């Protein structure tokens, strides 16, 4: 049974003015219809979770919610502890992590990653209903992600010579953002499923644009990974070259779209997939109660056996009862 600890809560650190904001379209999103902030908020949570929740609750809209950034601002706990606390806050009904598919005016589809936050704890039914309304509402595509801008140099009396434009082929690679996209994650997981397709971080970055084109053409991540890993030779000397060739040669066709939609055609809507707060596995909200997938939910509550194990135990019990009944006949 939960016990209130109104006086033992660690005071959350003061919010720094330099706390990083996420790229436009990403980061924290506050859920509607929350109760006013009081001193009793999160009083039923353990000390660490109250500490993290109090800090997150004061973050502004669009603030970065990555574990790495939170750990930098909360010196009492490391990244693993912050990740565990966020999982507990998801189970307690305070947050949900989602992926939003948004379409721009030029029909370009991109995935953005958001964390919906509610100071008022909500059950899974409330979150599912709320995300369903978010799923059907139009949304503008976020601005393209850009690396952090360097501070402008101080003005001097020496005029600077203009720098010639760099050719596209020699343009430096953009640094990765804190939260990789689904195409990058799919490529990264190939090597874990089969060592012949092991890729480095730079390899995943190089192949991500091609893999993203697959997802933009309507295929799922499972279809993408299955197509890339099907019928592998006994040995793959260059996983990067092999996968680049497959991504190019097996590119699925682009479905035709109406260039001139008729008047009254509804605006493109975004598609939302909830992410497991613990491992990041995507799925429909109904399949992730408490914001956790089945394996992570079982690990978080070890006293609750998985559905399959419970069904097997029930079958074994029935068979035992049947045998005992036959012995008495």
Which residues, other chains included, contact 64 with Cβ-Cβ below 8 Å and sequence gap of 6+?
19, 20, 21, 22, 26, 27, 28, 178
Which residues, other chains included, contact 231 with Cβ-Cβ below 8 Å and sequence gap of 6+?
none
Please, how many CA atoms are within 13 Å of residue 204, restricted to the half-sphere of its CB? 19
Strand ranges (E), 135-264: none
pLDDT tens, residue by residue, 102-140: 766 566 677 788 899 999 999 999 998 888 877 655 544
pLDDT tens, residue by residue, 71-93: 999 988 999 999 999 999 999 99
Per-residue confidence (pLDDT) for residue 224, from 0 to 100: 86
Tokens of 144: 């393209």
- The Cα 116–Cα 126 span in angstroms is 13
- The Cα 279–Cα 49 span in angstroms is 18
3-state helix, strand, coil in the chain (%, to 5): 40, 10, 50
Query: 128: how many CB neighbours lie within 10 A of its CB?
Result: 17
Find, among 176, 172, 169, 170, the residue nearest to 148 by Cα. 176
Find, among 172, 256, 250, 170, the residue nearest to 211 by Cα. 250
Q: Is the pTM of this model over 0.85?
A: no
- The Cα 67–Cα 73 span in angstroms is 10
Tokens of 13: 């650190």
Per-residue confidence (pLDDT) for residue 45, from 0 to 100: 93
Per-residue confidence (pLDDT) for residue 23, from 0 to 100: 83
- The Cα 152–Cα 272 span in angstroms is 38
Residue with tokens 């912050």: 82
Average pLDDT over residues 229-243: 89
Out of 167-176, 214-223, 228-237, least confident range: 167-176
- The Cα 74–Cα 56 span in angstroms is 10
Going by pLDDT thresholds of 50, 70 and 90, the confidence category of residue 182 is confident
Per DSSP, the three-state class of 27 is: strand
Check whether 168 has a pLDDT greater than 70. Answer: no
């Amino acid at each position: 049974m939960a016990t209130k600890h109104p006086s033992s809560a660690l005071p959350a650190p003061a919010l720094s003015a330099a706390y990083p904001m996420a790229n436009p379209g990403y980061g924290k999103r506050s859920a509607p219809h929350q109760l006013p902030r009081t001193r009793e908020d999160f009083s039923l949570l353990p000390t660490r979770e109250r500490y993290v929740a109090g800090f997150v609750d004061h973050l502004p809209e669009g603030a970065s919610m990555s574990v790495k950034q939170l750990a930098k601002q909360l010196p009492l706990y490391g990244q693993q502890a912050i990740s565990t606390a966020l999982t507990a806050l998801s189970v307690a009904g305070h947050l949900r992590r989602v992926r939003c598919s948004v379409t721009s005016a030029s029909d370009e589809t991109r995935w953005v990653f958001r964390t919906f936050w509610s100071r008022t704890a909500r059950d899974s039914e409330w979150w599912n209903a709320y995300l369903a309304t978010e799923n059907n509402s139009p949304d503008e595509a976020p601005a393209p992600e850009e690396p952090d801008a360097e501070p402008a140099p101080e003005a001097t009396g020496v005029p600077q010579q203009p720098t010639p434009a760099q050719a596209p082929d020699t343009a430096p690679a953009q640094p990765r953002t804190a939260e990789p996209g689904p195409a990058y994650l799919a490529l990264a997981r190939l090597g874990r499923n089969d060592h012949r397709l092991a890729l480095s971080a730079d390899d995943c970055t190089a192949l991500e644009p091609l893999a993203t084109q697959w997802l933009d053409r309507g295929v799922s991540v499972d279809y993408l990974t299955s197509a890339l890993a099907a019928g592998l030779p006994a040995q793959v000397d260059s996983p990067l070259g092999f996968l680049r060739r497959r991504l190019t040669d097996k590119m699925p066709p682009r479905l035709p779209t109406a260039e001139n939609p008729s008047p009254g055609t509804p605006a493109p809507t975004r598609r939302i997939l909830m992410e497991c707060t613990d491992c990041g596995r995507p799925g429909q909200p109904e399949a992730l109660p408490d914001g956790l997938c089945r394996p992570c939910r079982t690990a978080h509550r070890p006293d609750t056996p998985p559905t399959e194990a419970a069904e097997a135990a029930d079958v074994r019990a029935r068979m035992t009862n049947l045998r005992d009944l036959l012995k008495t006949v």
